[in-house]
């Protein structure tokens, strides 16, 4: 099992949205290296969810549960696992020499990156959680009907993002994101 960190602007799709939705499609990654990492991720891999923008912190854990429906090789289905007891800020990570060579510190624009077991355990410990090499995934949630962002908007959903643009985790906004209704 590999470990990853995925970044997302919380105004577009926050960890709170994932917690509420249960699962979502993660796509829209534009950077070639980030796309390479996204393609390398496998079912069962765990992912740290990182809020970019003003928050700049690791918020929670999600798990890769499958490939996205369709032909895209650059999209994965992820599900909520748990919220960390306390967010781990980028400032705290940068202050710790153990993280000096991590892409989060060295390549700030990279939105998908690998996380070694040692760094994973350190982040989880800094958050006040258990730092085991392998954490059990959350129990399966019942499948819910999936709708496009357009259907959510018509139903009065409150998704943030630039007017006239479809907002998805991963950053790019040219396609739709599947949401729970």
Over the stretch 56-77, which tens digit does the pLDDT of each residue have? 999 999 999 998 877 777 899 9
Q: pLDDT tens across 68-104, in order? A: 877 777 899 999 999 999 999 999 999 999 999 999 9
- Which CATH architecture describes the domain 3-133? Roll (3.10)
At residue 25, the 3 state secondary structure works out as strand
Nearest Cα to Cα of residue 74 among 147, 25, 114, 9: 25
d(CA 144, CA 139): 15
Flag whether the pTM goes above 0.85.
Answer: no
Q: Which comes out higher in pLDDT, residue 32 or 136?
A: 32
pLDDT at 158: 43
Residue ranges of the domains in the chain? Answer: 3-133
Q: What is the pLDDT of residues 132-150, one digit of tens each?
A: 544 443 333 333 333 333 3
Cβ burial of 6 (10 Å; 0-12, 13-18, 19+) is buried
């Amino acid at each position: 099992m590999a470990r990853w960190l995925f970044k997302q602007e919380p105004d577009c799709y926050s960890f709170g949205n994932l917690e509420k939705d249960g699962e979502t499609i993660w796509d829209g990654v534009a950077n070639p290296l980030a796309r390479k990492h996204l393609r390398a991720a496998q079912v069962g891999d765990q992912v740290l969810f990182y809020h970019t923008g003003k928050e700049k912190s690791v918020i929670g854990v999600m798990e890769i549960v499958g490939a996205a429906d369709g032909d895209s090789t650059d999209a994965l289905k992820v599900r909520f696992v748990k919220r960390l007891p306390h967010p781990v800020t980028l400032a705290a990570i940068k202050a710790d020499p153990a993280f000096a060579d991590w892409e989060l510190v060295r390549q700030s624009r990279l939105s998908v990156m690998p996380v070694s077991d040692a760094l994973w355990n350190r982040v989880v410990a800094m958050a006040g959680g258990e730092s085991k090499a392998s954490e059990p995934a959350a129990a399966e949630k019942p499948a819910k009907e999936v709708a496009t962002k357009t259907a959510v908007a018509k139903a009065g959903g409150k998704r943030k993002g630039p007017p006239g643009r479809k907002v998805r985790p991963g950053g790019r906004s040219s396609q739709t994101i599947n949401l729970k209704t």
